Structure formats: structure tokens, C-alpha cells
Amino acid sequence: MITFQKLICIILLCFAVLALSIEKIKLSWEIATLHNNFENLQIEYDALKDLNLKLTTQFYIENSPANIEKTAKEELGMIKKQPKKIIQNEK
């Protein structure tokens, strides 16, 4: 026959198994949430990397000497100064 001590021991073990099962479910849910967050962050990172590449390219295009010269001629009405001719006098 099952004694009172054995019955208490069985009940405590059942509660321990139940508590550990609940903890396992919580940890599984937390891992899934972290995995989804990581995927979302990876997508955002890729988008920001593409945007950074576009902005860097645009920066170099807009600050190129040819573009600056074009803007100076068209918008500011500047003209390119002709180089001076140097004449060497022979002695």
C-alpha cells in the first residue's frame, strides 16, 4: 500500500514536472520571439545598407567636379577662365 510520504513525494514530483513543462513552453515562446525579432532586424539592416549605398553614390555624383562645373555655368552664370599664354622671350 502507498504510504502518506510516498503520496506526498509523487504529488511534489508531479508539480515539479508541471512547473518545468510550463517553463519549457515559456522559453520556447521567448526563443521564437527573439528569432522573429532577429529576422526583422536583418531585413531592416539590409534595407539600411542599400539606402546607405544609394546615398553614398548620390553624394559622390553631386560633389563631382563635372557636376560642380555644370552647376556653376548653368545656375550661377560663371564662365571657365581661359588659361594665360606664357611667351618666353629668347635672348
| 6-43 residue pLDDT tens | 999 999 999 999 999 999 999 999 999 999 999 999 99
Q: Which residue has the cell 599664354?
A: 85
Is the pLDDT at 70 greater than 70? The verdict is: yes
Domain ranges of the chain: 8-70
Q: Supply the pLDDT for residue 76.
A: 84
b/e sequence 32-63, b meaning 16+ C-beta within 10 Å = eeeeeeeeeeeeeeeeeeeeeeeeeeeeeeee
Is the pLDDT at 91 greater than 80? The verdict is: no
| Average pLDDT for 34-58 | 97
Q: Are 66 and 72 in contact (CB under 8 A)?
A: no
